[in-house]
Structure 1
Amino acid sequence: MLSKLTQWIDTRRRERALRTHAVSDALWQKTLAGLPFLARLDPDDQLRLREMTSLFLAQKELSTAHELELTDEICVAIAVQACLPVLNLGLELYRGWVGIIVYPGEFVIRKTVEDEDGIVHEVEHDASGEAWEGGPVVLSWEDAQMTDGSDAYNVVIHEFAHKIDMVTGDADGHPPLFRRLHAPLDSAAWADVFDHAYDHFCAKIDAVPERRWARFERESLIDPYAADHPSEFFAVCSEALFVKPREFEAEYPELYRLLACYYRQDPARTGVLQTTAAD
């Protein structure tokens, strides 16, 4: 009896959220037009993404800084990109925090860093996005609009990939694996492919001569920033999976297969999920 009551309450909450935070047809079409990589989704998946966007907006609190006006366009554009990675995983991966802060452009991050000698330094740098464990996601609206697909860059997907990575603690490039979602993928299989790919990418970065660095940075599908830490490699590769899937699969086939199986999406339409299910 209690289970049925809980299910009824959850259904009523879902229906209320879908009504209260419904995305109008006009705004939805405008949002899709600004995010061309969503055209790869079939109509049923786009419908599920639209519903998940409404549920996401019902659960999160968006605010702005530096006098940026919070509009429906901003809310929906950020929400739909945040929902794309968890379309087949569920919004449960975003539980435990509510805040999303949007700046007009880049913002300054101040951090305390301890060096190898144990000396603590106060450092600051400009950023286009930041995700805090147990805390908010901070985004540059200017960067969040860089979505024409000319490269693999997507700050919203990047920061929400960090949020997924943080579900089990510090972001380390090893996101949580759930048997009901990810079997037969396990932590050993993840490490075998991901850690090897990260080490290979770092070695590739180290081998670039200084005189060729600018050209490499322009031409590399994966932003060299990904070499900073395994968590950044995971987030940057997540961007590439959704924004430039065919190019990503062509250049990094094993890594594409791994992330496609993790997110349970195959945007390059390689058939990898059917093959995995058959195995």
Structure 2
Amino acid sequence: MFSKLTQWLDTRRRDRALRTYAIDDALWKATLDGLPFLSWLAPADLQRLRDMTSLFIAQKEFSTAHELELTDAITVAIAVQACLPVLNLGLSLYRGWVGVIVYPGEFVIRKTIEDEDGVVHEVEHDASGEAWEGGPVILSWEDAQITDGADAYNVVIHEFAHKIDMVTGEADGHPPLFRKLHAPLDAAQWADVFDHAYDQFCARVDAVPDRRWARFERDSLIDPYASDHPSEFFAVCSEALFVKPREFEAEYPELYRLLARYYRQDPAHVGALDGTNPHP
């Protein structure tokens, strides 16, 4: 009886949120027009994505910095890109935090790091996005609008991939696997493919001579920054999966299949989900 009551209450809350945070047709069309990589989705999936976007907006608190005006266009554009990776996994992966902070452009991050000799340094660097474990996602609106470039860059997908990676603790490139969603994929299979691909990519980056670095950085589908840490490799590859799926599958077919199975989406339509419907 209690489970039925809980289900009924959840349905009521969901329906209320969909009504309260409904996205205007004109705004939805304008948002899709500005995000060409969503064109692979079937109409039914786009409707599910629209509903999930409304629910995401209902659950999160958007704010801005440096006098940037928070508009519906900003909110919806960021929310829909955040929801794309979890379209077939569920918004529960984004539980435990509420804040999305949007800056007009890049912002400064200050960190304390300890070097190999144990000396602590205070460092600053410009960033277009940052995801905090248990805390907010911070984004540059200028960068969030870069959605149709020649590379696979997408700061929103990148930072929300970090959030997924952080569900079970510190981001390490090994996101949570759920038996009902990911079977028969398991942690050993993930490590076998992902860790091997990461090691190969790092070796490739390390082998680039200084004189050819600028060209490599320009031509590489995967940003060399991905070699910094397995968590960055996961986030950058997640960008590639959704933004440049055909190119990603062509260059990294095994890695593409792994991430397609994880996200339960097949943007390149290559049957990467082991024969299952690419739109579960």
Code of the residue aligned with 1:66 in structure 2: it is: H
Partner of 1:123 in structure 2?
123
> CA offset at residue 149 of structure 1?
4.2
Code of the residue aligned with 1:124 in structure 2: it is: E
1:187 aligns with 2:190: no
Residues 1-279 of structure 1: pairs in structure 2 closer than 5 A = 1-275=1-275
> CA offset at residue 276 of structure 1?
6.2
Secondary structure in 2 aligned to 1:272?
A: coil
Q: Provide TM-score, normalisation by structure 2.
A: 0.98
Structure 2's unaligned 5+ residue stretches are none
Query: Aligned equivalents of 2:100 and 2:92: distance in 1?
Result: 17
Q: Provide TM-score, normalisation by structure 1.
A: 0.98
**Does the CA contact (< 8 Å) of 1:108 and 1:127 recur in 2?**
yes
**Does the CA contact (< 8 Å) of 1:149 and 1:244 recur in 2?**
no
Identical columns (%): 84
In the TM superposition, structure 1's runs of 4+ consecutive aligned residues that sit over 4 Å from their partners are: none
Code of the residue aligned with 2:19 in structure 1: it is: R
> CA offset at residue 241 of structure 1?
0.1
Secondary structure in 2 aligned to 1:73?
A: helix
Q: Deviations over 1:125-144 (max 9, x none)?
A: 00000000000000000000
Code of the residue aligned with 2:190 in structure 1: it is: W
Query: Aligned equivalents of 2:228 and 2:4: distance in 1?
Result: 49
> CA offset at residue 150 of structure 1?
2.3
Structure 1's unaligned 5+ residue stretches are none
Aligned-pair Cα RMSD in Å = 0.9
Greater helix share, 1 or 2? 1
**141-150 or 36-45: which moved more?**
141-150
Query: Aligned equivalents of 1:254 and 1:173: distance in 2?
Result: 16
Query: Aligned equivalents of 1:235 and 1:175: distance in 2?
Result: 10
Code of the residue aligned with 1:139 in structure 2: it is: L
